[in-house]
Amino acid sequence: MPVGRSCRGTSGEASVNQIQRKKGPKVSFDRHRLAAAARAWRVSQKQLAKHLDEKLGTINYMFLKGKQCQAARLEEISNILQVPFEWLTGEEDHLPLQPFRRDNPFRSIAETQFVIECNRAYERDVRHCAAGEDRAKMRRAQGEFIFALYALLDPRRWWWAFMDYRATLDPEEWGSISKLPIPAETETETTEAMINGMRTMLMPWLDNFAALDYRKVIDLASTV
């Protein structure tokens, strides 16, 4: 799980916390975003229930039919799954370092997790770069690099590059990637596979065993 802390204390503390949560104000939340965050972090409903010291049935209901819960409880979940509270409530559509609005919540969070991981490695490289023009150049290219990662992780760009959809699209839609007839689940599975593959390829850089030519990443993204 992304967060190693436990919500369990003494039995007395747990009882007090549960009472406080039940008395606290309720907020609405998006169960599809909740499920996407848990899937992205590979956190099962059983694991989440144990971590929250909550009944499994309560957590299952939140995932299947839930619309509201105590604000304090949702805050705990947002900390465990490392997503903003406001994103789970639907008040905010964008995640950190995400310039695009995604209709597919799993794609949204999975992309953002990976990009944040890459951004940390990029920041590490900037710190290790000798002060001067080279470091300044890396700083200027950081936004372009982040955008390139999103472009390379976008399965629609690759489908558009390699597939011919003219038989299934109206002529006026031939130039629009957003009009591709891709089922949501297919997009989710493809995004997951692409991120896993990209992470494996970049692992030597992410683990600081090799340098990354970030300009080549940017140039590659411009071709798709």
Cα–Cα dist 174/168, whole Å: 9
Taken in order of first residue, the domains within the chain and their CATH numbers are 11-89 (1.10.260.40), 105-221 (no CATH)
List C-alpha distances in Å: 34 to 26, 30, 43, 82.
Answer: 16, 6, 11, 11
pLDDT value of residue 7: 36
**For 18-70, what is each residue's pLDDT tens digit?**
444 456 789 999 888 898 888 877 789 999 999 999 999 999 999 998 999 99
Model pLDDT, residue 28: 94
Average pLDDT for 116-143? 87
pLDDT at 38: 87
